[in-house]
């Protein structure tokens, strides 16, 4: 979650919203107002689930309404046809919806973006058809009538009591989901959306994360469906048209996808405002359309995104006359790159790994990227990989980390072959890397980006995180202290709360190094870390590399900055057109006639 707004500021906003919701029943005795407020709470629950799926994991779903229908019909069948109470039926409703959500996730394992959206839209249409065709189970077009209200003490809940129930569920669900999103699962879900390759190379499996997001989203949809069924007293296929799914997608987008407050603000904008415009029935659609157009054009990140960006500054001006910047305002401090600090690497799983590749080959179409590369990197050394652009250096790193499986040849880590293993499995063997173009989570803070590197090391389960159990708090506190140490190691402590996406390019590269070190790797692959660095940052990188080598870590360094290579490398391998020209000590390799010819031509 973004840290551009201070926790205190966010807590204040949530507290105000909770107080307003709590004082609504005493302020009004109008049953219609309470009914609308209850439906608002149910819609917030449903939108909260879609926000996890779309806002955080980046999976576009147009079939969310179908999952609500599954939950509603499950609760209706169990309560009306089998005599279950609402309390007994709500759990199965969530479980059945989660299972169906897991099935919906299967296309997401191979499809992305709007291709997935079309599949989920088709899924919603299939569910709609089944609701009418399975008459013996669903009642067909007539639906199921007489869904009972929840009971307490043998008596059905009143309208006000139902409102309090929904409000309590919204508060609990918000707390649970927020805890999950603040954990390694939340960071990895954001990575699936923003930088899937980076997520795989820290040990996370995007397939499992997508399935988790679909199931969690579907479970909340099932809860909302069960509540809708009991609130309305009936369910019919007409309650869940295709527009119902589109409604929730728009709620999340307009409210602010990937923001905690997004579902709340989106529901207010998309459901409550039209109710308030009921007296202007002739003009309501026009007013609403113009408002939506203005929001989409001028508030591209949704209402919550706009408030996240401008809210602290506005509040600061109102409360302090503009004399002081608010606590949550984001700024990129201007600091000179300091010398590297003592490394926080105090405990690693063993000495550096030995890397060997034999006859490694890979082509893309008719272009040969690797033409049989043999490479041997000794443990605890810095081995530089140099060569002209297009010589296959990055492809070699991708083959070692599993992002691009080789067509032929072998990759061995201390004797263990990993040539066909998934990137997340290779990462868990002690391999970390940086990328030619930094792959960061732009909306998360620098500290949160470093924490992502510890994904494979964390042992606390998602349930422990969701319930904020002591073991989860303890591990989170220790990891945050360690991540702060790595930020200090690369000289980025002043940027700890700054969103990574607004950091200068050189600092983004240093941040990637800190994230990789957070994994406590035994083999570190670095793809052009010096590209775009200032002289001060280059000097700092030189010191960092020397300190990393002193920790007995193996480093494979792809670099065009020959002076840096000559200064820190123990061995240099030169590639040209996917084949090895020479592999020797820097003083020999960098003065070889074949190397000079490859770089400068005849």
Residues 387-414 have pLDDT tens digits of: 888 889 999 999 999 999 999 999 999 9
More confident residue, 420 or 215: 215
pLDDT at 288: 64
pLDDT at 311: 67
Q: Tens digit of pLDDT for each residue in 225-253? A: 999 999 999 999 999 998 899 889 989 99
Question: Which SS3 state, helix, strand or coil, does residue 142 take?
Answer: helix
pLDDT average, residue stretch 505-510: 93
Q: How far is CA 205 from CA 119, 179, 256, in A?
A: 22, 20, 26
pLDDT at 349: 60
pLDDT at residue 33 tops 90: no
Neighbours of 77 (CB within 10 A): 22
pLDDT at residue 602 tops 70: no
Q: Which CATH class is domain 355-441+519-600?
A: alpha beta
54: left (phi over 0), alpha (psi -120 to 50) or beta: alpha
Query: Do 530 and 564 contact (CB within 8 A), yes or no?
Result: yes
Helix (H) or strand (E) holding 432: strand 431-433
Query: Do 403 and 200 contact (CB within 8 A), yes or no?
Result: yes
d(CA 246, CA 76): 24
Question: Is the whole-model pTM more than 0.85?
Answer: yes
d(CA 98, CA 224): 12
Which pLDDT band holds residue 327 (cuts at 50, 70, 90)?
very low
pLDDT at 24: 84
d(CA 525, CA 432): 6
Q: What share of the chain is helix, strand, coil (3-state, %, to 5)?
A: 60, 10, 30
pLDDT at 362: 93
Handedness of CA 117, 122, 125, 126 (dihedral sign): negative
Helix (H) or strand (E) holding 20: helix 7-27
Q: Could you give phi then psi for residue 22, rounded to 5 degrees?
A: -70, -30
pLDDT average, residue stretch 168-180: 95
N-terminal to C-terminal alpha carbon distance within the chain: 54
pLDDT at 3: 45
d(CA 434, CA 213): 27
- Per DSSP, helices labelled H in 28-112 are 31-50, 64-76, 86-105
pLDDT at 187: 96
d(CA 500, CA 591): 39
Q: Tens digit of pLDDT for each residue in 264-275? A: 999 988 888 777
d(CA 563, CA 309): 42
Q: Return the CA Rg of the chain.
A: 28
pLDDT at residue 2 tops 50: no
pLDDT average, residue stretch 200-226: 96
Q: Where are the domains of the chain?
A: 28-242, 355-441+519-600
Lowest mean per-residue pLDDT among 100-104, 342-346, 350-354: 342-346
More confident residue, 314 or 41: 41
Q: 376: burial class by Cβ within 10 Å (0-12, 13-18, 19+)?
A: middle
Question: Which SS3 state, helix, strand or coil, does residue 11 take?
Answer: helix
pLDDT average, residue stretch 333-350: 56
pLDDT at residue 93 tops 60: yes
Contacts of 507 (CB under 8 A, 6+ apart): 492, 495
Q: How far is CA 93 from CA 80, 219, 262, 414, in A?
A: 14, 8, 25, 50
Q: Tens digit of pLDDT for each residue in 117-170? A: 888 889 899 999 999 999 999 999 999 999 999 999 889 999 999 999 999 999
Query: Among 524, 530, 217, 581, which residue's Cα sits nearest to residue 382?
Result: 524
Which pLDDT band holds residue 321 (cuts at 50, 70, 90)?
low
d(CA 235, CA 128): 12
The C-alpha angle with vertex 457 and arms to 205 and 399, in degrees rounded to 5, equals 50
Which pLDDT band holds residue 323 (cuts at 50, 70, 90)?
very low
Lowest mean per-residue pLDDT among 160-164, 170-174, 258-262, 276-280: 276-280
Helix (H) or strand (E) holding 518: helix 505-518
Q: Tens digit of pLDDT for each residue in 61-70? A: 999 999 999 9
Query: Among 207, 227, 210, 224, which residue's Cα sits nearest to residue 263?
Result: 224
pLDDT at residue 601 tops 80: no
Which pLDDT band holds residue 326 (cuts at 50, 70, 90)?
very low
d(CA 590, CA 369): 22
Neighbours of 346 (CB within 10 A): 9
- Per DSSP, helices labelled H in 233-301 are 242-255, 262-267, 273-276, 284-298
Query: Among 249, 270, 240, which residue's Cα sits nearest to residue 72?
Result: 240
Task: Provide the strand spans (E) within 174-328.
Answer: 234-235
Which pLDDT band holds residue 513 (cuts at 50, 70, 90)?
very high
pLDDT at 23: 82
Three state DSSP letters for 539-602: HHHHHHHHHHHHCCCEEEEECCCHHHHHHHCCEEEEEECCEEEEEECHHHHCCCHHHHHHHHCC
d(CA 119, CA 418): 34
Query: Among 479, 450, 465, 499, which residue's Cα sits nearest to residue 178?
Result: 465
Q: Could you give phi then psi for residue 382, rounded to 5 degrees?
A: -100, 115
Q: 240: burial class by Cβ within 10 Å (0-12, 13-18, 19+)?
A: buried
Which pLDDT band holds residue 474 (cuts at 50, 70, 90)?
very high
pLDDT at 243: 87
Contacts of 157 (CB under 8 A, 6+ apart): 149, 150, 151, 165
pLDDT at residue 279 tops 90: no
Q: How far is CA 83 from CA 76, 80, 89, 272, 485, in A?
A: 10, 6, 10, 34, 58
């Amino acid at each position: 979650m973004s840290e551009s707004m201070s926790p205190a500021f966010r807590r204040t906003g949530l507290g105000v919203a909770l107080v307003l919701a709590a004082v609504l029943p005493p302020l009004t005795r109008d049953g219609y107002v309470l009914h609308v407020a209850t439906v608002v709470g149910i819609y917030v629950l449903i939108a909260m689930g879609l926000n996890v799926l779309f806002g955080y994991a980046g999976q576009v779903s147009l079939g969310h309404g179908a999952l609500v229908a599954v939950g509603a019909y499950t609760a209706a069948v169990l309560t009306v046809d089998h005599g279950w109470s609402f309390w007994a039926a709500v759990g199965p409703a969530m479980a059945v919806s989660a299972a169906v959500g897991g099935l919906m996730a299967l296309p997401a394992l191979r499809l992305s973006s709007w291709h997935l959206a079309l599949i989920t839209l088709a899924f919603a249409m299939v569910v709609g058809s089944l609701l009418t065709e399975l008459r013996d189970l669903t009642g067909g077009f007539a639906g199921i009538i007489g869904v009972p209200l929840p009971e307490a003490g043998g008596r059905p809940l009143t309208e006000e009591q139902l409102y309090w129930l929904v409000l309590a569920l919204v508060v609990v669900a918000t707390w649970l989901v927020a805890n999950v999103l603040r954990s390694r699962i939340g960071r990895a879900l954001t990575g699936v959306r923003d930088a899937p390759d980076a997520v795989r190379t820290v040990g996370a499996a995007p397939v499992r994360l997508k399935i988790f997001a679909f199931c969690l989203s579907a479970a909340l949809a099932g809860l909302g469906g069960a509540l809708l069924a009991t609130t309305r007293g009936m369910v019919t296929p007409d309650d869940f048209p295709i527009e119902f799914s589109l409604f929730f997608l728009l709620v999340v987008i307009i409210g602010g996808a990937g923001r905690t407050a997004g579902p709340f603000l989106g529901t207010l904008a998309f459901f409550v405002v039209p109710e308030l415009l009921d007296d202007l029935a002739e003009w309501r659609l026009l007013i609403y359309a113009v408002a939506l157009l203005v929001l989409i054009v001028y508030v591209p990140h949704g209402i919550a995104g706009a408030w996240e960006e401008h809210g602290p500054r506005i509040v600061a001006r109102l409360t302090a006359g503009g004399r002081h910047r608010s606590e949550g305002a984001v700024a990129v401090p201007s600091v000179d790159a300091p010398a590297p600090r003592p490394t926080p690497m105090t405990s690693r799983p063993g000495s550096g790994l030995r890397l060997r590749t034999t006859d490694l080959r890979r082509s893309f179409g008719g272009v040969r990227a690797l033409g049989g590369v043999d490479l041997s990197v000794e443990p605890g050394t810095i081995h530089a990989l140099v060569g002209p652009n297009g010589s296959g250096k990055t492809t070699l790193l991708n083959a070692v980390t599993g992002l691009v499986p080789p067509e032929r040849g072998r990759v061995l880590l201390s004797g263990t072959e990993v040539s066909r293993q998934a990137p997340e499995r290779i990462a868990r063997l002690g391999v970390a890397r940086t990328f030619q173009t930094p792959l960061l989570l732009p909306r998360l803070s620098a500290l949160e980006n470093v924490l992502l590197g510890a994904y494979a090391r964390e042992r606390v389960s998602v349930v422990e995180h969701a319930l904020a159990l002591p073991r989860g708090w303890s591990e989170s506190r220790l990891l945050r202290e360690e991540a702060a140490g790595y930020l200090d190691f690369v000289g980025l402590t002043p940027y700890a709360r700054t969103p990574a996406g607004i950091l200068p390019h050189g600092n983004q590269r240093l941040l990637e190094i800190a994230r990789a070190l957070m994994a406590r790797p035994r083999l570190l692959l670095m793809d052009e870390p010096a590209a775009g660095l200032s002289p001060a940052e280059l000097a700092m990188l030189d010191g960092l590399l020397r300190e990393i080598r002193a920790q007995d870590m193996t480093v494979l360094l792809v670099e065009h900055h020959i002076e840096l290579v000559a200064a820190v490398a123990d061995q240099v391998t030169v590639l040209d057109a996917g084949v090895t020209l020479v592999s020797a000590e820097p003083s020999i390799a960098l003065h070889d006639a074949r190397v000079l010819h490859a770089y400068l031509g005849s």
